[in-house]
Structure 1
Amino acid sequence: MPMHHIPGIPSARQGCLAMLLGMAVLALLPDTALGEREQGEWLVVRTPITSETVTRLKNATNRAIESRGAKKIVYQFQFAGLSEAGPCQDLANFLLRDIKGRAETYAYVDKPLMGHAVLPALACNYLWLGPDGAIGQAASKQPDEQADRALQLKYLEVAEARGKFPALVFKMLYPELVVYQIDAPDGRKFKLDRDQAARLGIDARHALAPEEVNQDPRPVLREQEAGLYRPSDPRTKSFGLWGRVVSSPQQVVELLDLPGSLVQGNPLVNLDQPPRAARIVIKNEITRGMVESLRRQIKRAVDVDKVNCIIFEINAWGGPGSVRIADDLAKELVDLREKGVLTIAYIPATARGAATYIAFGCSRIIMGPRAELGDCQMLLYERGNRAVPERDVMVFRESLKNLAERQGYSPVLAEGLLSPGMEIVKVQAKPDPNQPGRLATAFLEKAQAEKEARKWDIVGTVKAKDRPLAFDTEKALEYGIAWDKVDPPSIDNVAKLEGIDPKNVAGARTGFLDEVAAFLAHPVTTVFLVIVFFTCLILELKAPGVGVPGVIAAISIVLVIWANSWLSGELNSLAILLVLLGLVLLGVELFILPGFGVCGISGILLLLLGLSLVVVQRWPQTPGEYLDLGKNASIFAAGLLVSLFAAFILARYLPNVPYANRLILQPPDDETSAAGAPLPPAQSPALLGAVGVVVTTLRPAGKARFGDEFIDVVAEGAYVEAGSRVQVVEIDGVRVVVKPV
């Protein structure tokens, strides 16, 4: 039975041809279409443009093209004053001639741009404006500067090279010109008044020809009307001076399919002198003390050393308890942009857990060839492999997403770092001429990509379900997380990548107090000081008075509290109150309610808790932090036991050591008191074993009556009420010890 082709359904031959055609199209696509995003650069050009600015812009552009392979360079022009013609001509020449076909150049003007700075903006391959942007009014208002013939020719060269109407460009330079629009069969034209053009030496080609006068030209820009063109002016839609009106820098990078982090720009470009940088090392576990030390180093580098760039060499990690402090520091790093400071996260090896927040807070991330960033599995589990509560993980996730979005990174990728069950895919937008602003590539949850299959094509898997997500160097570059990589990895190479002379990179200075506090807050030093504190406290209580042991005990506890408070940046009032309350309770137990009861035990526990809080620096919020608190309390309890042994040894042997025996108060001798007054006679040994009645309550000292004689006695251990019967159990000189019977 013969097969007939059914209309509307392709035949096998047509299907094969379509498949072959599709394969051919894919083969012709550039490598970046489905793979790594193109590299780009975003440079902020602030006016007035000077010769130094032009030199730095040239260097930054050439570095981006040659070192990083950037194919798209965006110059964001920001007007802050009129620029001289010379530097602007130099920059325009560079954009027109030197770059050639090595990269595409884009000028983005989101606010009005005036003066001769419009010349390099027009010299870019593409000119895009923001809704509030404007360009023109190039004529200088300075009386000693006029547009000479060479400058006029430069404006003409730029206009013709970039396909702009010379008449409209000349109007920027000469506000007295009248510009006419001619709607001819061969297209719209803009021409100048013939007499005005001749008077200013403008080529007659750009003025109305005799035959054009009869084509009903109409003036669109009148005499003395400023040549300042705005998207809000409906007349400018037909002028063809700019290509797009783009709402924000973020949309610019989206349209160009560049990493969102580019929009931060490079503040080093607009400096009047060579940039200076500070190097700050972040290594090992991130703690509150470390972050406070980093804050002081940053403040000193920016406010005292006046650096323009800070390079953070990160080889660190941090668990759930470090997220909040790392996130706070990251937000402060973001705010440094407002001070014109470029922050670079240099990762030679690894930045894991809470260290990811600090890296994301920097303006740029530069990695070593085999580095890794973003392994956040440790943020999902406490010590002891206990899962962090989901509500806490949600807070971690939201903080990282907000930080990533603020820095121009994909929030979906940031969320994936803390979402094991999430599936992430890389998608490419399907062509849609009605929505030119859509991302060429993006990262989406797989479910969302499948739901929006009409809009997106899935081109790759970034994260499979129940698999952790982290970025090695190549993936970080591909996903727009890393700015660049250095190989071989070194601080000097990072500095050179940003155009900084390695000689101008200095290690951030730490203050003397920082170093002292860091030494005293070291766990070994802290435990030693606590042992000294307990030992001297026991010695002082054994020999009452204000002696050397009491002074040493006070100094030791003050050093522990000060060092940890200095590093944490805040005074832990609760810890100090607990320590003081513990000392008060011990005093009550020893001098008011003798024995070893509730006050004594409570005092010791409060001392241990207070000292532990000093070290952990805040009241625990998570099971892991409670575990840390308990661990420190156990260590200090062990230190107390060592102190008891040390106090026993010292009390036994120190009085017999020459010179050293002066460190503690000695009991008075048998002859005289310390003031020289005669001492009462020693009690007779015959009193030993005698039974008497307590006359005054023993607390523990008081009076007791033995027969007709009243004698000062000391109770052995417990509190003894008046009227109780007691027996003498020890006689030591004038000291008579009794116990209840």
Structure 2
Amino acid sequence: MRIILPLLFTGALLTLFPAALGLAEQDAVVQDEVKAELRRRAVMIPLQEDINPLSGALLQRKFETAVESGVEVVIFDINSPGGFTYVTFELMDMVLDAKDVETVAFIEKDAISGAALFSLACDRIIMLPDARMGDAGEIVMGADGAFRYTEAKSRSVLAQKVRDTAAATNRPIALAEKMTDKDMVVFKAINKDDGTIRYFSDKEWVAFEEQEKWIKGRPVREAGKEMFFTANGRRATELGMANQTVNSREELADVLNVAEPIPVLERSWVDTLVFVLNSGFVTFLLIAIGLIALVVEFSAPGLGIGGLTSVLCFGLFFWSRFLGGTSGWLEVTLFVIGILFIGAEVFVIPGFGVAGVGGIVLLLGSLVMASRRFALPQGGADFTGLGADVLTVAGAFVAFLIALVLLAHYIGEIPGLGRLTLKPAVTIDGFPTRDVSDEMLVPGWQRVAVGDVGATVSPLRPSGRVEIEDYTIDVVTEGEFVESGTKVKVIGKQGARVIVRAV
């Protein structure tokens, strides 16, 4: 009996142990599910290129999409050398003004110059241990092609922006400013009463009225004379510029308490198309083809293949500039006004004068303005960019003129475009003759001559249709409106355009 009872007890334990183990596993699974449900929703947006109007506009659109989706954390995956100052300021304001989401700068490699300033504006900065951030001094390219420090006025604006941003995100103001100022020196000071650590610049220390309450330490080695503050992840965390370091994206998700895997807002096909359409060569083709198609359309009344092609080319041009952040409605308005001026010169005003020249200037000027990457040129780099934009538009215009000359000579031999040219009449002994079999193949406007009289079959306002003999043709007046059923006389011809006047 003494042996049987322990055996029965042991058997009962062995029976219950698997059940208990199964319950423990179920509890662990439930706990994991609860933790997953408690994790916050996040999305990652890459910033893996230089900061320019195009990349900045795309990043802003991605950020708006992320916020509208209702996520709680937006992570910027940063590896960028920086770029345009004014675009950087716009991106900094974007994240500083975002109140419904937590913004995180995740630096795996480099956040240099404008990318470092953008990181400074985020709520948290998390870096890999060997990643780097800093070196945000503002430089411009001079007339000699060499880069140099910007003027004091521009540096003052940048320094104040950085100080305000560091104060808003609770980071050492002096170290943040040191990223933009190579002349100042930053050192650590310790409060004698409570041991608080604070970083001062030499300029700030001179004007500080409570020096006796602080113990001035040695300069920070990354913030000495003649250098812009730059630090790796470990050092930036130690100095308070970064919040902490992680070794992987999985660890990043745990630190931020967000669900894994973190979805990434990759570049869409629309973004890729915008980048392609903004390239110099494609821009050149769009403008050149659009101008050629516009002339073809002006050569024949009504909306045809030329007009549709021109609308497509310039539509793609301005659409890509709108999404690229370099164009607005002003450029589109100037472009349309230029087209109207040229149209008035061709169809209404005889000759070629102020309206035509003004229209061309407005048209080309609007194309340059829509391609510009800055508000006003402020340095050598801006003027270089402006020169590149002007060269692209001017090159496309020259290509258009060359194509126009070639079309004038060979358009009659191109299938489908021969109708745009006026073929000479066949003569016998100096007198015109007609081949009745071929006459039906000749467009009506080629068969009409100056002095012919016909009647309008539709109102001319100022274009419309006129019946002359047994055929109907498209005509225009000199600008006046003519009612239907009125006799008119052909007073001129310009290519496929027939000009009439009421008799």
Superposition TM-score, scaled by structure 1 size: 0.49
Indicate which of 289, 297, 310 corresponds to 1:532: 289
In structure 2, the partner of 1:460 is: 218
Indicate which of 184, 197, 205 corresponds to 1:441: 197
> Aligned AA for 2:174?
V
Q: 1:270 to 1:427 in 2, by over 3 A?
A: farther
Whether 2:87 is the aligned partner of 1:314: answer no
Indicate which of 415, 418, 424 corresponds to 2:177: 415
* Kept after mapping to 2: 8 A contact 1:275/1:500: yes
- Aligned equivalents of 1:584 and 1:676: distance in 2? 25
SS at match of 1:553: helix
> Aligned AA for 1:495?
A
Offset at residue 464 of structure 1 (A): 2.6
Q: 1:611 to 1:446 in 2, by over 3 A?
A: same
Offset at residue 500 of structure 1 (A): 4.0
Whether 2:136 is the aligned partner of 1:376: answer yes
Indicate which of 404, 407, 412 corresponds to 2:166: 404
Offset at residue 655 of structure 1 (A): 4.2
Offset at residue 574 of structure 1 (A): 2.1
Q: 1:578 to 1:382 in 2, by over 3 A?
A: farther
Q: 1:397 to 1:330 in 2, by over 3 A?
A: farther
Structure 2 residue runs without a partner (length 5+)? 1-26, 426-438, 453-477, 479-488, 499-503
Offset at residue 643 of structure 1 (A): 2.0
Offset at residue 413 of structure 1 (A): 1.6
1:185-204 → structure 2 map (5 Å cutoff): none
> Aligned AA for 1:615?
S
In structure 2, the partner of 1:633 is: 390
- Aligned equivalents of 1:375 and 1:291: distance in 2? 20
Indicate which of 173, 178, 186 corresponds to 1:424: 186
Offset at residue 580 of structure 1 (A): 2.3
SS at match of 2:282: helix
In structure 1, the partner of 2:105 is: 345
Q: 1:509 to 1:418 in 2, by over 3 A?
A: closer
Q: What's the CA shift string for 1:32-53, capped at 9, x where partnerless?
A: xxxxxxxxxxxxxxxxxxx99x
In structure 1, the partner of 2:245 is: 485
Whether 2:303 is the aligned partner of 1:546: answer yes
Cα-Cα RMSD: 4.0
* Kept after mapping to 2: 8 A contact 1:300/1:509: no
Offset at residue 272 of structure 1 (A): 5.2
Q: 1:558 to 1:617 in 2, by over 3 A?
A: farther
Q: Which has the bigger relative contact order, CA under 8 A and spacing at least 6?
A: 2
Q: 1:456 to 1:471 in 2, by over 3 A?
A: same
- Aligned equivalents of 2:73 and 2:139: distance in 1? 34
* Kept after mapping to 1: 8 A contact 2:288/2:399: yes
In structure 1, the partner of 2:57 is: 292
Structure 1 residue runs without a partner (length 5+)? 1-50, 57-268, 684-698, 700-709, 716-731, 736-741
> Aligned AA for 2:285?
F
- Aligned equivalents of 2:390 and 2:264: distance in 1? 37
Q: 1:368 to 1:601 in 2, by over 3 A?
A: farther
1:61-76 → structure 2 map (5 Å cutoff): none
Superposition TM-score, scaled by structure 2 size: 0.70
Q: 1:480 to 1:620 in 2, by over 3 A?
A: same
Indicate which of 563, 578, 597 corresponds to 2:320: 563
> Aligned AA for 1:311?
I
In structure 2, the partner of 1:646 is: 403
In structure 1, the partner of 2:461 is: none
Offset at residue 509 of structure 1 (A): 5.6
SS at match of 1:349: strand
1:9-408 → structure 2 map (5 Å cutoff): 273-304=38-69, 306-316=70-80, 317-332=82-97, 335-336=98-99, 339=100, 341-377=101-137, 379-382=138-141, 384=145, 385=147, 388-408=150-170
Q: 1:270 to 1:628 in 2, by over 3 A?
A: farther
- Aligned equivalents of 1:582 and 1:675: distance in 2? 31
- Rg larger in 1 or in 2? 1
- Aligned equivalents of 2:446 and 2:226: distance in 1? 85
- Aligned equivalents of 1:679 and 1:597: distance in 2? 28
* Kept after mapping to 1: 8 A contact 2:299/2:496: no
Q: 1:619 to 1:427 in 2, by over 3 A?
A: closer
* Kept after mapping to 2: 8 A contact 1:288/1:325: no
In structure 1, the partner of 2:372 is: 616
> Aligned AA for 2:265?
A
> Aligned AA for 1:583?
I
SS at match of 1:465: coil
* Kept after mapping to 1: 8 A contact 2:185/2:201: yes
Offset at residue 593 of structure 1 (A): 5.6
Number of equivalent positions: 414
